[in-house]
Amino acid sequence: MSYYQVARHSPETSRPIIVIYTDDAASFRKVLGSPADILYPEIGEEQWQQWRGSVNKVYLLKIGVLQHAAAHFPGNLLFLDTDTIWQKDPTPIFGDIARGVRYMHMDEGALATGNELSRKVYRHLKNFQTRIGGLPLRIQPTTRLFNSGVLGFKSEDAALLPEVMQQAEQLYAAYNKHMMEQLAFSMRFAVDGEPVREAASYLVHYWNLKAMRPVLIELFERYAGQSYDELYARASRLHIADLHKSEQAYSRLPGWRRAIRKATGRRWRLPSFDL
């Protein structure tokens, strides 16, 4: 819905096809319907499981999804996690992708000097090295980590996806942390082509607000069938972007300050919502 809001002044002929990969298309159709520019590929249970890779990780599903999209909907691909909200028309991103530019959500910095988790990953993997597709790949102090809530590239680049999968599986085997999939994308995309660009200025990726899921489910179930404008207005009143920022600010507090706030009943929580 947020896409239709930010792109409402763009010519319909320039708008992309929206392909929703889900194991519950019926729930999406209740809210979004089945207009010609929204497609719901049928993916069998066995295929979903296969896409989880040999390490059986849900994070690897997007690699299989992108391979399927490249094969069935070739062109300029822009993958988004569900927990994203467009704030600007992404037409310029598609123009860049057409010229061979690759996109990810945002640069989270060098592993060696990033946040606490990044530094921990670097300490465990600083001796990691492998060779995939004839290319040497290793963790270095300069290795940068990009968030993979957004992935954009031409469908011809889908040839890289088996290499990303292979590397991700090796990384998970070496250190079982959720971020290994995004590290695999970051490392492989850094090998060739232009530097990865960030899509962060175009959207909000509220990956840190898992507790919003039941709130959004209740909202969309309650008002399913209403217009996109009405649903978007109701969802906007949740102020998800502001909550995302405030939770991040809380998470960045020193551990001792968070401990004090928890002990005094002032830990960060979602507010109550009047849906």
Q: pLDDT for 184-216, tens place per residue?
A: 999 999 998 889 999 999 999 999 999 999 999
Mean pLDDT to the nearest integer, 118-146: 92
Q: Which of 222, 206, 197 is nearest to 2 (CA)?
A: 206
Tell me what pLDDT residue 225 has.
Answer: 85
pLDDT band at 269 (very low <50, low <70, confident <90, very high): very high
* Nearest-angstrom CA–CA distance, 23 and 182: 23
Tell me what pLDDT residue 237 has.
Answer: 96
Q: Which of 89, 43, 98, 83 is nearest to 66 (CA)?
A: 43
Q: Where in the chain is the domain with CATH 3.90.550?
A: 2-204
Q: What is the pTM of this model?
A: 0.93
Domain boundaries 2-204, corresponding CATH code: 3.90.550
Contacts of 246 (CB under 8 A, 6+ apart): 268
